[in-house]
Structure 1
Amino acid sequence: MYRPVFHISVVILNLYSFWYDQMYLDFPYPNKEYAELSFKGRQVFLTIWCFTLQTIYFAVSFLNDIVGTDAPAPKKTPLIRTLKDHLFCLAFPVAIYVSTAFWTIYTVDKKLVFPDYIEKIFPVWLNHVLHTLVAVFMFIELIATRRIYPSRTFGIFYTLFFSMCYVVYIHLLYAHTKMWPYPIFEVLNLAQRILYFAISTVIAIGFYLIGEKLNAAVSKGSTMPYVNGHANGHMKKNK
């Protein structure tokens, strides 16, 4: 019973947070073209891509609680369960990356990701919903539910595809507006940006592999993570 309550609670919190942002927060964008974008230009931030992905994941998880299954290795896997499992393998590394990258850069030089003019109007609770709880919720989910990972090839592909979509998007955005979504990119030249994105991608893949290993450790019924489309090991029978 606790799983559906947890899942729907996260969805409600996220939807409320987004509603609050849209209703009460107005960022003084230096570029007017950003301010004219839909959703007050929030979609330019990786944080919001992560936040949207997590909201979708927990909504699907709630539906799986109602009409799917949380069995470690169901004999017949419902479509909603497969969708949930595949979304998790992407939502986990993205959430851990966003939380880790934000707070690391914030600690080193916060103006590169969270300038004073934004921090002054941004509620502390909302900052933690977007940059802290996304990771906390995914670790709770890792422990509280069961999932069957897709093949490592597919899982890493999902992570790479998501990352590349965002990189391409912000470069197209820059070509149109001559402004980066995060101040950190203003101080990096082309070679440094390429290195930054390359390192970020490697870190994201690392977080994917960590999620896969942690899943194998906590998921009852599975001895090893899925590697090449089949379990690398065997599925234990439930006693």
Structure 2
Amino acid sequence: MLLPIFHFSAAAIDAYVFWYDQNYVDLPFKNPMVKELPLKSRCMFLTIWCLILQIAYHTVAFLNDVFGTNAASPKKKPTIRLIKDVLFSVAFPIAMYVSGAFWGIYAVDKDLIFPEHIAKLYPVWVNHVLHTTVAIFMFIELLTTNRNYPSRKVGLSVMSVFIGAYISWYLTVYFKTGTWAYPLFDELNWPLRIMFLLFSYLLVIAIYIFAEKLNYVTGSSKVEKNLSGKHKKR
């Protein structure tokens, strides 16, 4: 019973913050070309890609709670469960990277990632949903639900497509508008920019592999038993 409530709540919180951002926050971009980008220009931020991915994951997870199965090793997996497991393999490392990179850079120099003229437009609770609870929700998910990771080849391929799509879009926005989404890139030369992007890619892959291994040692079915109050054999 707790899992559907958790997934519905996580999806609702993330969806509300996305709605709030689109309706109540107007970022002061001076470049008119940036203002014309989709989602009120938010499409160039990995944070928003991550938030949309989290909404999709928790929605699918809720549907799986209702129509699918959370059994550790079901004999026949419903399609919704297969989708859920693959989505998790991508959503978890992206959430961890977004949260870790944001707060890591924030601790070194806030203006490189969240300058004051932008920060003042966001209530603290919205900022934390964007950059903190996405990781907390996914870590809770890792510990409290069962999943069967896709093969390493499939999982890393899907992850690489997601990362490649974002980096390609990120660079496309810069070459078309001359504006970097993150001020950090204004402080770097091209070799350092390429190194940063490559390091970020490798870091996300490392998080993926870590989560995959952790998934098999946490004994998540036992945690799920404690949360639900009973263990359903399937």
Describe the SS at the equivalent of 1:21.
Answer: helix
Counterpart amino acid of residue 121 in structure 1? L
Distance 2:157 2:90 in 1: 9
Measure the CA separation in 1 of the matches of 2:179 and 2:32.
10
The answer as to whether partners of 1:147 and 1:219 remain within 8 angstroms in 2 is: no
How many aligned positions are there?
A: 223
AA aligned to 1:176 is: K
Q: Which whole-Å CA distance do the structure 1 matches of 2:101 and 2:42 have between them?
A: 18
How far off is 1:79 after superposition?
Answer: 0.6
Paired residue secondary structure (2:109): helix
**Structure 1 residues not aligned, in runs of 5+:** 222-237
Q: How big is the alpha-carbon RMSD for the aligned residues of Structure 1 and Structure 2? A: 1.4
Q: Percent identity?
A: 49
What SS does the aligned partner of 2:195 have? helix
Q: Does the alignment pair 1:76 with 2:76?
A: yes
Deviation at 1:158, TM superposition (A): 1.8
Q: How does 1:116-155 map to 2 (within 5 A)?
A: 116-155=116-155
Distance in 2 separating the partners of 1:89 and 1:198? 20
Q: Closer, same or farther in 2 for the Cα pair 1:192/1:2, shift >3 Å?
A: same
Whole-angstrom CA distance in 2 between matches of 1:80 and 1:113 = 36
Question: What is the CA–CA distance in structure 1 between the aligned matches of 2:47 and 2:188, rounded to whole Å?
Answer: 20
Matched with 1:206 is: 206
Q: d(CA) in 1 for partners of 2:124 and 2:220?
A: 37
The structure carrying a bigger helix percent of its residues is 2
Query: Larger deviation: 33-42 or 131-140?
Result: 33-42
Query: SS in structure 1 opposite 2:75?
Result: coil
- Residue matched to 2:216: 216
**Conserved 8 A contact 1:72-1:219:** no
Q: Quick check: 1:98–1:131 contact (8 Å CA) kept in 2?
A: yes
121-130 vs 149-158, which moves further = 149-158
Could you tell me how far apart the structure 1 residues matched to 2:45 and 2:152 are? 27
Q: Given residue 25 of structure 1, which amino acid in structure 2 is its aligned partner?
A: V
The answer to whether the Cα contact below 8 Å between 1:10 and 1:58 also exists between their aligned partners in 2 is yes
**Cα distance change of structure 1 residues 220 and 170 upon mapping to structure 2, 3 Å threshold:** closer
Question: 1:220 deviation in Å?
Answer: 5.3
Instruction: Output aligned runs, 1:160-179, within 5 Å.
Output: 160-179=160-179
> Do 1:170 and 1:181's aligned partners in 2 also have CA atoms closer than 8 Å?
yes
Q: 1:170 to 1:220 in 2, by over 3 A?
A: closer
The AA in structure 2 aligned to 1:142 is L
TM-score (norm 1): 0.90
CA distance in 2, matches of 1:7, 1:17: 16
**CA apart distance, 1:40:** 1.0
| Deviation, structure 1 residue 186 | 1.1
| Higher RCO structure (Cα 8 Å, ≥6 apart) | 2
Which residue identity is paired with 1:114? F
